[in-house]
């Protein structure tokens, strides 16, 4: 895209390219900043550096094969992405998966959410200059990936879901591993608060910074913790419960401040809620099959199917148009990161460069999710 | 006066929050047993790789060089990346019928995303995922593997 | 006060001086002595850089539940050496349209500035290259030359990131110079001298941090904050701020010139810690507790150089601890902290100290 050459000799403004190789854009995102001194006048995100045409690739893939592609969207909430596709396909096949599958999917969902949020917490600290938190966050993230590794054989791109259930049954020591992790995690989570949330420098840098109003959140389609921090109740797990979410008690974390600290706090509190969800389910995994056999070649009836799930970053939606062939006619992903990024300009105007980094962190962007 | 006390209580609270943060890092500094780093090549012997870990596609062979692959190409069709190519052969059975058998099961490790779909698709459980994860080579060509060993045969009784 | 004579270096230096003077004229003696001292400092710098970088890596690694460098040498001890060799052999890149002369000059300014500051450092009794009357003032003066280097580097790089970093750094160091100076002045009220050797001698019966009551503790806290800010280290690493400005003023530097900036950061950290140790913790004076004669005697047996370096390392560790715990401040908060909190506090503190010393309420 050509950038209009604005004569900046008259104004005090100047441009700076933040990215595509920049430590805090978390991937290959390029932000074109218009600055006046350190004050941001305008942010123009330029995306597409990791565009892999995943939606197009889906059109040539069978329904089983789509799943492993969704791992590569928002790789930090890969299980939720997998699940959305599976739910959409199961919806098309009008098939009911066993209770056991639903419960296990929910547990893994929440584990995945915790792992994503711990990583986010670490990266957030690092963006703010507290590099130590990065390693602490990764420690917990790593423990969950180890559980995943034991459960389904992959650490990050799990592909644990298949249409009709799960790829494997849970390993026999699954409950013990999860409980051990929760025990450890509940001790470490307060440490997160001491290290960052209560730290005066951190609160000063996030409170009142990067305000996003509820109206704007809705207008830009911001979802997930970022929107709930602005008071917009948008948790898909509450609005359209899927899997086993109707069976568990949990609070939808809502703040009204709409600033960076609220977005930060929303995620921290969400981790506590995830812990409580897992605790409710881990001892009551029903017996039964982990898998309902589907045909080797799945053909969805002609029609349109939409299924959304609450990924770690917001509402992740899968829209499938089928023409009763073995490949979908069209697949569209509604990725939360894309909508969240669109609000960045609104939030960041008038802030400083350092605030922009904080805002980007609290929006929790994953670039492959945006570019697809 | 109120503002003055506020000024000083702000300082006090701020300093206290900073000291608390330092106590966390200080704790870790004084407890080196919390270190989680693993020294990788040194700990190869004790490294625990979970049984299900998907590291590489392999075709197990029995002691007398027999495998279970019939060359049905189901795995090739299931693979989303085209990492598997089945080269089959036609041989004449003793009864005089032509029969399709596997010649080469070509597996391109470099293109594999370890999604496990091929293993699930295989009707005879001929291929499995192994735990080996050390795939680094100097030559990309080495990553294209032929899974059935030279001279190997299909196990008796395995039919399509 | 009996310092064990074996740890008194003045005899040694004196002996060298007389030996040299006996051999040659006054001028050449001075030249030879200068070269000697210069070589010693160069070596000292090299070793200091290697040790401090290694220490920083290990400290931060342990804090971050990691092991840190482990491969090169036992426990990775030769890692910094390996890195240094790598940096020396790297291609020195210069950005297009950069001001070549200034771009190349900047790393030397910063390294020379830190060299000059070490000159007056009293490492032990008699182990001091120069003993100015105004030693403390001199240190404050030369240590702020470093900021010109940062400004020059940022300007000459012809990169916006560098420029922002440099401007930030300019604002930061100019402000924090004030409270650093004022907090040192608080102690100078007690010592009545700016000469570093005298400041050390005045603490023979107890360090100022104890003798000066709460006032000197406040002064020390302010000093360590301002000192950390002056060295551009986290949480005040605004000039580098790698998550905002990629690497701030040295974004465009590579190879040996980058190594100079890197080394200067550690040398500056050493200088700040050394000033802190000298002024607040008695420099090379051993720890003495009241009338515990036996204890005091044992302490005397520890060489004064060791005392000096122990204190310096303790303060350096404190600064590392800060860096690996706290998030970075924003530039306006940084200035707020200085002008709204540290400066008024140090002014009040200086009054308090003057009052204390007037009433003779210090030990
Ligand atoms: S694991 Fe997946 S990508 Fe790899 S060969 Fe099998 S089907 Fe293909
Ligand atoms: S490995 Fe299995 S699926 Fe693939 S060709 Fe052989 S028998 Fe068929």
**C195: pLDDT confidence band, cut at 50, 70 and 90?**
confident
Return the pLDDT at A1: 46
Contact list, A69 vs chain B (CB under 8 Å) = 80
Is residue A31 domain-resident? no
Domain edge (last residue) among C46, C62, C85: C85
Residue C181: name the closest of C130, C230, C147 by CA: C230
A333 secondary structure, DSSP code: E
**C212: pLDDT confidence band, cut at 50, 70 and 90?**
low
Question: Closest to A357 (Cβ–Cβ): which among C234, C243, C329?
Answer: C243
Is residue A23 domain-resident? no
- B129 lies in the same domain as B81: yes
Lowest average pLDDT, out of A90-104, B6-20, C5-19, C108-122, goes to C5-19
3-class DSSP assignment, residue A372: coil
- C274 lies in the same domain as C191: yes
In the reported structure, the alpha carbon of residue C354 is separated from the centroid of ligand 2 by a whole-number distance in angstroms of 90
Highest mean pLDDT among C127-136, C189-198, C295-304: C189-198
For the CA of B152, the nearest ligand:
2
- C339 lies in the same domain as C270: yes
- B15 lies in the same domain as B64: no
In the reported structure, the alpha carbon of residue B111 is separated from the centroid of ligand 1 by a whole-number distance in angstroms of 8
CATH of the domain at A269: 1.10.645.10
Number of domains, chain B: 2
**C3: pLDDT confidence band, cut at 50, 70 and 90?**
very low
Number of domains, chain C: 2
**B36: pLDDT confidence band, cut at 50, 70 and 90?**
confident
Is the Cβ–Cβ distance between A356 and A42 less than 8 Å?
no
* Residues of A engaging B, defined by a Cβ cutoff of 8 Å: 61-62, 64-65, 67-69, 132, 139, 142, 146, 149-154, 157, 159, 162, 167-168, 171, 191, 194-196, 198-201, 296
Shortest CA gap A179–chain B (Å): 18
Return the pLDDT at C1: 40
Lowest average pLDDT, out of A168-172, C231-235, C286-290, goes to C286-290
Q: Give the distance, in angstroms, between the CA of residue A126 and the centroid of all CA atoms in the same chain.
A: 19
Please state, in angstroms and rounded to a whole number, the distance separating the CA atoms of residues C310 and C122: 14
Return the pLDDT at C180: 85
- C148 lies in the same domain as C80: no
Domain edge (last residue) among C53, C69, C85: C85
Is the Cβ–Cβ distance between B89 and B73 less than 8 Å?
no
- C137 lies in the same domain as C230: yes
B73 lines ligand 2 (CB under 6 A): yes
Would you call B24 and A195 a contact, using CB atoms and an 8 Å cutoff?
A: yes
Range of the domain at C58: 8-85
Contact list, A135 vs chain C (CB under 8 Å) = 64-66
Range of the domain at B132: 56-154
Is residue C2 domain-resident? no
CATH of the domain at B105: 3.30.70.3270
A281 backbone dihedrals φ, ψ, rounded to 5°:
-100, -25
In the reported structure, the alpha carbon of residue B68 is separated from the centroid of ligand 2 by a whole-number distance in angstroms of 8
Is residue B65 domain-resident? yes
Residue having the nearest C-alpha atom to atom 7 of ligand 2? B69
3-class DSSP assignment, residue A111: helix
Please, what sign has the CA dihedral across residues B34, B35, B36, B38? negative
Strand order in the sheet with A30-36: A13-18, A30-36, A39-46
- B103 lies in the same domain as B139: yes
Highest mean pLDDT among A238-247, C9-18, C130-139: A238-247
pLDDT in tens, B93-109: 777 677 777 778 888 88
Is the Cβ–Cβ distance between C353 and C189 less than 8 Å?
yes
Would you call C64 and B37 a contact, using CB atoms and an 8 Å cutoff?
A: no
Contact list, C241 vs chain A (CB under 8 Å) = 129, 354
Q: What is the pTM of this model?
A: 0.85
- C70 lies in the same domain as C12: yes
Position C14 pLDDT exceeds 80: no
The atom of ligand 2 lying closest to the CA of B160 is: 7
- C34 lies in the same domain as C49: yes
Is residue B82 domain-resident? yes
Q: Which residues of chain A are modeled with pLDDT < 70?
A: 1-11
For the CA of B114, the nearest ligand:
1
Would you call C326 and B21 a contact, using CB atoms and an 8 Å cutoff?
A: yes
- B88 lies in the same domain as B27: no
Pocket perturbation via mutation, ligand 1, pick of B116, B128, B132 by most ligand atoms within 8 A of CB: B116
Is residue B48 domain-resident? no
More confident residue, C304 or C147: C147
Domain edge (last residue) among C60, C85, C110: C85
Is residue C3 domain-resident? no
- B100 lies in the same domain as B60: yes
Is residue A25 domain-resident? no
Please, what sign has the CA dihedral across residues C10, C48, C322, C161? positive
From the number of C-beta atoms within 10 Å of its C-beta (0-12, 13-18, 19+), residue A10 rates as: exposed
Q: Which long-range contacts (CB under 8 A, 24 or more apart) does B132-139 make?
A: B132/B55, B132/B56, B133/B49, B133/B53, B133/B55, B133/B56, B135/B55, B135/B56, B135/B109
Residue having the nearest C-alpha atom to atom 4 of ligand 1? B112
Is the Cβ–Cβ distance between A335 and A372 less than 8 Å?
yes
- For residue A5, CA distances in Å to A20, A37, C238 come to 20, 19, 30
Number of domains, chain A: 1
The residues, any chain, with a CB within 8 Å of residue A94's CB and separated by 6 or more, are none
Q: What is the mean pLDDT of residues B47-71?
A: 83
Is residue A32 domain-resident? no
Q: Which two tokens stand for residue C70?
A: 């482990």
- For residue A267, CA distances in Å to A113, A119, C312 come to 10, 11, 41
Element (H, E) at A30: strand A30-36
- B75 lies in the same domain as B120: yes
B69 lines ligand 2 (CB under 6 A): yes
């Amino acid at each position: 895209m050509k950038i209009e050459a604005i004569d900046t000799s008259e104004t005090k403004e100047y441009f700076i390219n933040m990215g595509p190789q920049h430590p805090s854009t978390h991937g290959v995102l390029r932000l074109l900043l218009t600055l006046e001194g350190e004050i941001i006048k305008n942010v123009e995100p330029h995306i597409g550096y990791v565009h892999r045409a995943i939606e197009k690739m889906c059109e040539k893939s069978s329904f089983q094969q789509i799943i492993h592609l969704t791992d590569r969207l928002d790789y930090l909430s890969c299980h939720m992405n997998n699940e959305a596709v599976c739910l959409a396909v199961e919806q098309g096949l009008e098939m009911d998966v066993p209770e056991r599958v639903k419960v296990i999917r929910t547990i893994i969902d929440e584990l995945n959410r915790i792992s994503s949020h711990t990583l986010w917490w670490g990266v957030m600290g690092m963006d703010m200059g507290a590099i130590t938190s990065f390693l602490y966050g990764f420690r917990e993230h790593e423990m969950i990936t180890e559980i995943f590794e034991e459960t389904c054989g992959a650490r990050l791109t799990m592909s644990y879901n298949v249409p009709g259930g799960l790829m494997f049954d849970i390993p026999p020591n699954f409950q013990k591993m999860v409980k051990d992790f929760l025990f450890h995690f509940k001790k470490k989570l307060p440490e997160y608060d001491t290290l960052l949330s209560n730290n005066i420098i951190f609160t000063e840098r996030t409170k009142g910074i990067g305000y996003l109003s509820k109206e704007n959140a809705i207008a830009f389609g911001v979802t997930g913790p970022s929107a709930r921090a602005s008071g917009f109740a948008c948790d898909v797990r509450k609005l359209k419960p899927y899997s086993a979410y109707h069976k568990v008690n949990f609070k939808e974390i809502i703040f009204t401040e709409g600033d960076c600290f609220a977005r930060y706090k929303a995620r921290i509190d969400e981790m506590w809620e995830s812990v409580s969800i897992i605790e409710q389910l881990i001892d009551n995994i029903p017996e039964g099959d982990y898998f309902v056999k589907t045909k080797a070649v799945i053909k969805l009836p002609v029609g349109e199917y939409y299924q959304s799930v609450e990924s770690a970053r917001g509402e992740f939606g899968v829209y499938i148009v089928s023409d009763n062939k073995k490949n979908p006619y069209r697949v569209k992903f509604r990725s939360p990161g894309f909508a969240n990024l669109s609000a960045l300009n609104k939030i960041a105007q008038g802030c400083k460069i350092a605030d922009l980094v904080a805002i980007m962190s609290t929006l929790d962007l994953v670039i492959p999710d945006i570019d697809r | 006066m109120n503002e003055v006390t506020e000024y000083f209580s702000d300082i006090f609270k701020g300093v206290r929050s900073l000291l608390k943060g330092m106590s966390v890092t200080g704790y870790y500094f004084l407890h080196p047993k919390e270190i989680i780093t693993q020294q990788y090549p040194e700990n190869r012997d004790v490294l625990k790789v979970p049984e299900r870990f998907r590291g590489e596609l392999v075709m197990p062979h029995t002691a007398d060089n027999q495998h279970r692959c019939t060359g049905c190409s189901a795995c090739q069709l299931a693979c989303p990346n085209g990492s598997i190519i089945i080269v089959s052969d036609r041989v004449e059975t003793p009864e005089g019928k032509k029969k399709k058998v596997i010649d080469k099961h070509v597996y391109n490790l470099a293109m594999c995303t370890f999604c496990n779909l091929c293993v699930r698709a295989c009707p005879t459980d001929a291929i499995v995922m192994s735990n080996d994860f050390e795939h680094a080579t100097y030559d990309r060509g080495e990553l294209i593997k032929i899974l059935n060993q030279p001279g190997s045969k299909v196990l008796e009784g395995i039919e399509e | 006060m009996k310092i064990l004579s074996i740890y008194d270096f003045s005899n040694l230096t004196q002996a060298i001086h007389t030996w040299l003077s006996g051999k040659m004229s006054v001028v050449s003696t001075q030249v030879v002595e200068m070269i000697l001292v210069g070589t010693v400092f160069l070596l000292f710098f090299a070793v200091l850089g290697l040790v401090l970088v290694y220490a920083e890596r290990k400290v931060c690694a342990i804090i971050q539940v990691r092991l840190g460098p482990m491969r090169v040498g036992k426990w990775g001890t030769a890692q910094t050496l390996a890195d240094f060799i790598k940096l020396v052999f790297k291609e020195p890149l210069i950005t297009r349209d950069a001001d070549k002369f200034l771009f190349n000059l900047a790393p030397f300014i910063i390294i020379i500035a830190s060299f000059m500051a070490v000159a007056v450092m009293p490492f032990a009794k008699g182990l001091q290259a120069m003993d100015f009357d105004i030693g403390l003032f001199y240190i404050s003066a030369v240590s702020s030359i470093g900021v010109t280097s940062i400004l020059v580097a940022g300007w000459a790089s012809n990169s916006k990131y560098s420029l922002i970093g440099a401007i930030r750094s300019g604002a930061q160091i100019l402000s924090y110079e004030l409270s650093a100076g004022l907090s040192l002045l608080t102690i100078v009220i007690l010592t009545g001298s700016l000469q570093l050797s005298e400041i050390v001698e005045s603490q023979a019966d107890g360090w100022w941090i104890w003798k000066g009551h709460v006032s000197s503790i406040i002064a020390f806290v302010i000093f360590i904050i301002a000192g950390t800010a002056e060295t551009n280290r986290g949480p005040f690493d605004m000039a580098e701020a790698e998550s905002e400005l990629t690497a701030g003023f040295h974004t465009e530097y590579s190879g040996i010139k980058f190594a100079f900036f890197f080394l200067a950061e550690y040398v500056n950290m050493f200088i700040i810690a050394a000033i802190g140790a000298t002024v607040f913790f008695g420099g090379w004076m051993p720890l003495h507790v009241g009338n515990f004669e036996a204890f005091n005697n044992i302490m005397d047996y520890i060489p004064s150089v060791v005392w000096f370096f122990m204190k310096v390392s303790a303060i350096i560790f404190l600064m590392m601890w800060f860096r690996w715990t706290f998030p970075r401040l924003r530039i306006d908060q940084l200035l707020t902290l200085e002008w709204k909190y540290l400066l008024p506090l140090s002014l009040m503190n200086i009054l308090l100290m003057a009052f204390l010393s007037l009433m003779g309420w210090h030990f």
